[in-house]
Every structure is written in structure tokens, then in C-alpha cells.
Structure 1
Amino acid sequence: MDIVQKFGEDVAVPKNPEREGSPRLITIGQIAEEHGVSRSSVHTYRRRPTFPQPVPVEGSTRTHYRADEVAAWFEANPPQQGKRTDLAPRDEGVPVETRSVAVPPGVELAAAQEFVEWLRSQLSEDERIARAAGGRWRELSGNWVAAAEGDHRVAMVLAAGERAHIVAHDPARVLREIDAKRQILGLYNSAVEERATLRARMREVIDSDRDEFGRLHNEETRLIETARTLTPVVRLLALPYADRPGYREDWRP
């Protein structure tokens, strides 16, 4: 073993990983080949806290692991046969043939797209009503609520508190709120639609480029986490419309 400087600290690395007496080191590709899993599976396993730590190798840009430690880990954590959950994070693992690699159907993805379409239609209906009602409103003498410009009178309201509420929630404010809600929904929808595009690309490279598939799979995981973070937010945006047709109880926060 040699002592080298890495990030300001002394690190022991083997001069020649293959020399006699040194532990055999293997790359991610070799792990996949020797243990009968895909490269994307190995990348998933690497994120587990129990997976062996990589061994730094002088002069190599590849990630290496001790073969004996990896073998022991696979013995303690055998891949689940008949289910490739590594290709669909968390809730989208579906049974497939043991030796078959597949991109499972995006059931959750389709449900998210349905939700976005429904909430968008509610916001569009609110916008239609607000635009038909005019712009800013103001209070007039004689208990009237009127348009901010011109002499158009909207309504006579006797209670001062009710007049103040109506003016504060005039069509102009409603349109501003709709715009803000659409921007929030847009952040969520971007993660959903980018994932749909990504999965189409995953199907294209699944048999031809496993490294690219693994990279896309990791990117999909990031998009899933983004959508999960925003899901409670957009469901709260939908809650005021729970009395409208099409609202589903499983959308409640």
C-alpha cells in the first residue's frame, strides 16, 4: 500500500490492485457481470448505507470495490428474483421475468398528469369568471361597490364588512392569485412531464446502453423526489375545489 494525499489527508491505496497478496478489486461493470444484475442495479445498491465503500486506486478514474466485500454483501442481500424494483423507484416496481429488463408502466405518472389537467381546468374556469367580471373594484358612497375606473356600479351592499371583503377580493386580485397558483402547478408539472420524456428515452437505450440507462434512471429518481416534495403543495391548491365535479378523495392532503 502507498500513502498518498487526497483532499489534504493521507489515504492508503494499493500500488497494483492485481498483485499477489492484494485484495482483488472490481469495477461497477464487473460487479454487474459477476453477480448477474444490471449496472443500474449496482448504482442503486451503492446508495445503500450497508454497501461496501469504494477503494481509491492510484492513477485510475474508475470506481473500485473489494471483490470479497461485494460478494459478502450480495450473499447477505440477494437480489429479489422476479421483481425489478431497481428500474422503478419505490412504488412502481412490477413483476417481470427474472432475466428480463423493463421500464415498468408509469401508473403513478399517469395519475399525476390527470391531476394536473383537472386542476388546470379549475383555474381556467376561475379566470373566465374573473375576466368577465371586470378589473379592480372600489367602495362608493351610498353602500355601493363600483369599478375602480368609470361609473359602473357592481352591487349595493349594506354591511361595511361585506363591502370591504368584496373589494379586497375583486377580479384583479383573483387573476393575480390564479397566476401564482399556475406557477406553482407549473413547477410540479415540469417534474412530471420531464419524467415522461425521460422514460421514453430509457426505453430507447435499455438494451443498447446500460450506462446511459443508469444515468437516466438516477435522473428519474431526482424528478420523482421533486414531484413528491411538491405534491402536498399542489394538493392544497386543489382543496378549495373539492366540491367541483371530478375531484377525487385520494387527492386530499
Structure 2
Amino acid sequence: MNRVVVLMYHALYADAQGLDAIAAEDRPYAISTRTFAHQLELLRDASIPVLDPAQLETGRTGGSGVILTFDDGHASNAELALPLLAERGMSAAFFVTTGFIGQRPGYCSWEQLRALARAGMLVGGHGHTHRFLSDLPPPQMHDELRQSHALLRNALHQPVAQMSFPGGRHNAAVLQAGLSCGFQVFHGSEVGMLRPHAPLAGQPLPRIAVRRGMRDAAFLDYALARPGRMLLARGLAQTKTLAKHIIGNERYHQLYAKIKS
């Protein structure tokens, strides 16, 4: 049976100064370059293939393995992650917040995104301002998706078929609007793996967030979709989802940011 797990990364850092430069609320998801390189070697040593994310656009996964994704568009994606991937012949998907490109310190420039694309990496959307799409009125939600898709398509001069949801937040209206704007494959943050023969286009795909401090055993359990680890992760995710439902996405995010700062 095909077993494909999509792993979700964010920023990388090379040293303590690099970590300090990352916003406090984002540091739990920041991974050192040493850890990232080690995890790539763990995958290789365990004979777990790193699959090309572009194959998701064909509607099939083409065998077991993992797909690597990065959210937000942090400059470290181009400066630190790309060389580590390229030297191993691996590819990944980079989902970028277009309103941050060339505008917010610490995030990719358009030239860096073009360099990612030239290197064979997939560059996709992550909204325009990183607002939670499911919280927006329909006109604003459509504008977020339309701007993101159009800016990437025009700057990269290639089709843009994949995106991830800021904060993982989405609903049926967001999916429909994304399809109407030209996106086909959508990445969420629900815990799970891609099911064999399940439709990929137009469906929110599950991903596993890689966090700072994740132990090797846990990383490999996720990469191999071991049931016990997945069950525990789903339980924790369901608790967080319930909290978001009770207090709202924005309030939950504010509390999370305050705790981490």
C-alpha cells in the first residue's frame, strides 16, 4: 500500500543569532540547519524516498515516501534549505505569502523565489497577507487568493497549482474560491497521511508539522506513518481544533503568540 506523508517546515536557522531573528511565536517551528540536514539523512538511511511535490498535480502519489513542504516564505528557505536539498538531489514545495515578498525583512525576495523555481523546487501560494482565509468575508478571501495566484504566476512565468492555508484554516468556501482562482492542490495542517487512490485535487491534504526539538524517533515515526504516533498526534490536534472553535481563530492565535513571546 502506498504511504505518503507530507511534512511541514517553516524557517531554518544556522546559529543562535539566526534563531533570535525569527519572531518568538514562530520559533517552535524553526529548525536548525544541522537538524534539517540530519533529518534528510535519517530519511535516506531509512530508505524513505523524498518525492517530488509536483506529482500531486497528476492526481496520484507514485509510491511511498515523504513530501517536504515549507510555509510562509522565510528567506532561510532559499538561503539555507535550498543548498541542503540541492546537494542531496531532493526537492520540496515552498508556499509563500506574497505580500511579504521583498517587503518584510527576513522573507524571500522575488529573485530568491525564481532561484528556487530554477532549481526545480515547487513554489506555491500561502495567501497574500497571511490572514486566516476562513475568517474573511468572501470578497476579501477571494482577493487574498486571486492576488497570491496572479503575483506568483506573473513573477515566475509558470503555472501555480498548489497552495497551503495560512494557519491551516479553511472551509468549503475557501476551497471553492481557491479552485476558481487557479489552484488545484491544497495543503492543510490536519494530521494524517495521503490515502491510496484518494482524490488529491480540490481536497485539503494532511501534513505533519516538524517542530524544533522533535526527536529522531518521533520524526521517523511520522515519516513512516506509524499508527501509535499518528493517533497521539491526532488527539492533540483535535484538542487544539476544539479550542479554536470555542474561542475563535484570532483569539487562539493571540493567546498562542503571547505564550510563545
Q: Give TM-score, length-normalised by structure 2.
A: 0.19
Return the index of the structure with the highest Cα Rg.
1
Higher relative contact order (CA 8 A, sep 6+): 2
